[in-house]
Amino acid sequence: MSPIVSDSRLPHIKGSIFATMTRAAKKYGAVNLSQGFPDFAPDQRLLDALSEAVQGNHNQYGLPEGSETLRQSIAHMFQNLYGLGFSAETQITITAGAMQAISAAISSLVHAGEEVIFLSPAFESYEPAILLAGGVPVCVELRAPTFDIDWDEVEESVTRHTRMIVVNSPHNPTGRCWTAVDVDRLARIADQYNLLVLSDEVYHNIVFAPQQHITAFSDTRLRGRTIVVGSLGKTMHVTGWRIGYAIGAPALTNEIRKVLQFNTYAAPTPLQQAMAAVLDDAAYCDLPQLFVQKRNRFLDGLGSSRFSFMPTGGGYFQMLDYSAISELPDTEFANHLIECHGVAGLPMSGFGSQYATSKLLRFCFAKKEETLDTATDILRAI
């Protein structure tokens, strides 16, 4: 008899590296700087609003497109931060995390056999989402140490089958943020070859001066062809609530909503209700300051260590180069750190197997000061 699953839809995809490292950190009681989530409490107002929503009987199915007030709050955030107007009714959709926004955008807009360009190192969900849609992933590699985008190489990867390009700024794992030149090159390519753009901007609220976040929507050539995805879990320090969003032109939004309504139907009602009550300027304007302090504390703590680094430009993460310490490939070194020293970081190869010998690990500094200090005391001594 043939095996019940003889032909995997994702034959080369292994378990999530984030879950693997978090499990290992738990097993060895290591300080977990591997996965991107805060270990500090969210705003008490948010927790109170959730309790009110649940007690107030906001516990039934919501609209598939998401809570109207939450969509309006997101529209307000984009107006406030970037001076751009989006319709809550036709352009903004609430999803179960940015990850669902990514998969819904790809599965609703990419047809079988169409090519999707993504830039590696890449967040781990892009490639499986493309494969599950029947699309063909086309990887353009970014190179250490700067991980700058070679736009000529991106353009050379475009064929007559290319449908979409997936981009990410601030970038996970490198923290690199787009420049105006990047957005201009992206816009020229997308416009010339009539491509869709999926712009993963989940860390848009966390960009460190003198850099500023430049949303893909800032370029008029990109507005009608781009879906921006965001994560309120990141913005409001509650990644486990799994609330994100997709913003795009009405025709694109319409397709995304068709898929979502037969997937989760709608994101959880009380969580959206609570976020809508609290998502105002105070929830996001102070984030760069909060996180730059954490980044600096982490880097100051590593000052006299044997790790080398370039301070990250935005997001939750700092890459550390361990080439002065060990010759081990990155996963082995990450496991060694967990098992022998009690600190968990993420191997760069989790974002592209070609980086296994890059001697780079990613550390999340979205943590309490005492967590960062405990980790840097250990890392400094290695």
Ligand X SMILES: Cc1ncc(COP(=O)(O)O)c(C=O)c1O
List contacts with ligand X (CB under 6 A).
36, 97-99, 123, 168, 172, 200, 202, 231, 233, 239, 244
Q: How far is the CB of 265 from ligand X (least distance, A)?
A: 18
How far apart are CB 69 and ligand X at their closest, in Å? 19
* Smallest separation (angstroms) from ligand X to the CB of 118: 11
What gap in Å lies between CA 242 and CA 249, rounded to an integer?
A: 23
354 half-sphere exposure, CB direction, 13 A CA radius: 10
Query: For residues 105 and 325, which CB has a smaller minimum distance to ligand X in the complex?
Result: 105
Instruction: Please list the residues that pair with 320 across neighbouring strands.
Output: 361
| CB-CB neighbours of 84 under 10 Å | 15
User: Which residue's CB atom is positioned nearest to ligand X?
Assistant: 97
Residue 187 structure tokens: 């816009």
Separation between Cα atoms, residue 320 and residue 363, nearest integer Å: 7
CA distances from 15 to 6, 48, 346 (A): 19, 35, 14
Q: How far is the CB of 220 from ligand X (least distance, A)?
A: 25
How many CB atoms within 10 Å of residue 47? 14
| Minimum CB distance to ligand X, residue 202 (Å) | 4
Give CA separation, 20 vs 26, 30, 100, 344, in Å: 10, 13, 20, 11
**Which of 334/364 has CB closer to ligand X?**
364
Tell me, what amino acid is at 184?
Answer: D
Sheet strands side by side (includes 162-168): 92-95, 244-248, 226-231, 196-200, 162-168, 115-120, 136-141
Which is closer to ligand X, CB of 50 or CB of 325? 50
Q: Which is nearer to ligand X, 129 or 136 (CB)?
A: 129
Please report how close the Cβ of residue 44 comes to ligand X at its closest, in angstroms. 22
Phi (first) and psi of residue 134, to 5 degrees: 85, 5
Residues 6 or more apart in contact with residue 53 via CB below 8 angstroms: 269, 270, 271, 273, 274, 277
Residue 247 in contact with residue 91, Cβ under 8 Å? yes
| Cβ atoms < 10 Å from Cβ of 254 | 14
Select 34 or 239, whichever has its Cβ closest to ligand X: 239
The residue among 246 and 325 lying less far from ligand X, judged by its C-beta, is 246
Rounded to the nearest whole angstrom, what is the least distance from the CB of residue 159 to ligand X in the complex? 26
Q: Tell me if 213 sits within 8 A of 314, measured CB to CB.
A: yes
CA–CA gap between residue 210 and residue 177 (Å, rounded): 11
The DSSP bridge partners found for residue 32 are: 344
| Shortest spacing between CB 367 and ligand X, in angstroms | 15
Q: Which is nearer to ligand X, 162 or 239 (CB)?
A: 239
| Residue with Cβ nearer ligand X (127 or 325) | 127
Residue 127 vs 200, nearer CB to ligand X? 200
Residue 172 Cβ, how far from ligand X at the closest point, in Å?
4
How, if at all, do strands 360-364 and 346-347 pair? Answer: antiparallel
